[in-house]
Structure 1
Amino acid sequence: MNENKFYSFLGIIKKSGNLISGYNICEIEIKKNKCKLIIIAEDASLNTKRKFVELCEKMNIKYIVYGCKRKLGICIGKDETSVMGIENDDMSRVVLDMLK
């Protein structure tokens, strides 16, 4: 998998309006069952990882732990982000396929 392609695609998803980022907004959207895939940064705090893994499993939402906060943030125009959510089925499938 080409890492640059992965991060570029996240930027495209953001521009399309199908990507959300940030702890609070992701938590809210997961509870509304709007997210199709959650991406958690590898260097996110243990509590953040635990909370989102449990929430995703409870709501039956796919999740991956990948990348660092800085790279995930930069690709969507932020400094850092620990958690992001993809709200489109097709785009979430493409992201998962990239990581296979």
Structure 2
Amino acid sequence: MTKLLSYLGLAMRAGKLVTGDEIVHKALRSGDLELVIVAGDASENTKKKFRDKCHTYRVPLLIGLDRFAIGASIGKADRVVVGVSDSGFARMMREQLAIMSEVEYIE
């Protein structure tokens, strides 16, 4: 989990991360995202919304971590939804999922 959080921080500093419900939703619609991450402690409504949207736009979705860990890793207040726009960062994060069991990953 530590590597995944580190990758989130690197992606944020590189300008390859978008945060917030509406901004991530807009980036999904425009085809700019390679991966979406939703906090495991998000509301069921938020999880369902992004499951459906990611399925529609064929973007991998990760549900896990918690809003405080996500926020801390990117230097912001707690965050529920983030989107990764860079394929390299998205690939590195997906590779970490092979060794993590506390997340739900939907391709």
Q: TM-score of the superposition, structure 2-length normalised?
A: 0.89
Would you identify which runs of 4 or more consecutive aligned residues in structure 1 move more than 6 Å? none
For structure 2, the 5+ residue unaligned runs are 99-107
In structure 1, what is the Cα distance between the partners aligned to 2:52 and 2:3?
29
**Residues 21-40 of structure 1, C-alpha deviations (whole Å, 9 max, x = no match):** 11110000001010000001
Task: Note if 1:92 corresponds to 2:96.
Answer: no
The 3-state SS of whatever aligns with 2:74 is: coil
1:4 to 2, 5, 11: 2
Q: Which residue of 1 aligns with 2:64?
A: 66
**Residues 4-63 of structure 1, C-alpha deviations (whole Å, 9 max, x = no match):** 222111100100010111111000000101000000100001111010110000011111
Q: TM-score of the superposition, structure 1-length normalised?
A: 0.94
Task: Note if 1:49 corresponds to 2:34.
Answer: no
Aligned residue pair count: 98
In structure 1, what is the Cα distance between the partners aligned to 2:64 and 2:94?
11
- RMSD over aligned CA atoms reads 0.7
1:66 CA drift (Å): 1.5
In structure 2, what is the Cα distance between the partners aligned to 1:37 and 1:61?
6
Q: Which residue of 1 aligns with 2:101?
A: none
In structure 1, what is the Cα distance between the partners aligned to 2:10 and 2:35?
15
**Percent sequence identity over matched residues?**
29
In structure 1, what is the Cα distance between the partners aligned to 2:3 and 2:50?
25
In structure 1, what is the Cα distance between the partners aligned to 2:58 and 2:5?
25
The 3-state SS of whatever aligns with 1:75 is: helix
In structure 2, what is the Cα distance between the partners aligned to 1:55 and 1:27?
8
The 3-state SS of whatever aligns with 2:71 is: helix
